[in-house]
Chain A
């Protein structure tokens, strides 16, 4: 059974279904939770799901990490370095936007005092 799970098509199917399931869990949390910190946690979970999907579909068990040394210069057996650079940028920017959003949420709590999104309907506090 271990040899059956090591083929490339099976691993790509597992990665697709797994990351889509994580996205669905994050979406469920975004739509049904009432506390606004839990909404931020759901958004961060959805971002992790997208990064896993992006890097998982390029997996092949013969390719290694894209680092050249003097003894190992065969570039046809290395991973693609461009998606790594894109995910690096996206992780850092996602964290920065999350920090800004959380500081807005703290400011709103100190002004009005409620933490449930159901009661955020009034125009003036």
Chain B
């Protein structure tokens, strides 16, 4: 029959299987969560009022789960390493057209404002929303603005390497000092009173670790951006 030739059995079975899967999936997902269930963050929020800083997300990222942040920095480092290896550094990509006068002046005016804002977000990460990752990426985007508007702007390779190495080593070093003093890796060995919650100097090692993370992330993102803009490929 003509109907059998036009409707292949594979298409029909595909549609039936996807319909069954979608109905099952939605049936499971659409059961609403009652709002009086016990959450895993209740205990941590109670612990945060005596042991942590004002911003609860910063305490969770740096202090309660600090080892995961160390792994995340390792993943970022491997990705930056891979991008640097793939693109050849001997051939430079020449930008032929000179930029507009307005673009050059405006980017030179905006660059210090963005850098100061990035440092503010990084240093006040334990008192208001923000932190090391956000501040570092804001500084990297300021560098990116100068890279795409000026032809001859380049970061020197050795300065970025020194910054990144220093930041990476000091994270592990702070953890090892905590291991020596208090028998726990990444323990909080500086004085942290509950009465100083809300001041800039509070929380022990938590602001120091977040500043170190911010320096490392910022310099890595700048190198990734400069590799993608300035280098030619390995052909």
Chain A interface residues toward B at CB < 8 A:
8-9, 12-13, 16-17, 20, 57-58, 60, 65-70, 73, 75-76, 78-82, 84-85, 88-89, 92-93, 96-97, 99-100, 103-104, 106-107, 110-111
Contacts and interface: CB of A to CB of B under 8 A. Distances in A.
B56 A78 contact: yes
A57 to B, nearest CB: 6
Contacts of B65: 85
Interface string B18-50: 000000011001101101000111101110110
Given A80-B40, A106-B233, A88 B75 contact: no
Interface stretch (B79-87, B98-106, B156-164, B182-190): B79-87
A85 B57 contact: yes
B149 interface: no
15 contacts: A12-B32, A16-B26, A60-B35, A66-B56, A75-B42, A75-B49, A78-B45, A82-B60, A89-B72, A97-B79, A100-B82, A100-B83, A103-B86, A106-B233, A107-B234
Interface of B: 25-26, 29-30, 32-33, 35, 39-42, 44-46, 48-49, 54-57, 59-61, 65, 68-69, 72, 75-76, 79-80, 82-83, 86-87, 128-129, 133, 197-198, 217, 224, 228, 233-235
Given A85-B61, A100-B79, A103-B86, A80 B41 contact: yes
Contacts of B133: 88, 92
B233 A110 contact: yes
A9 B32 CA distance: 6
A9 B30 CA distance: 9
Contacts of B32: 8-9, 12-13
A60 B35 CA distance: 8
A38 to B, nearest CB: 19
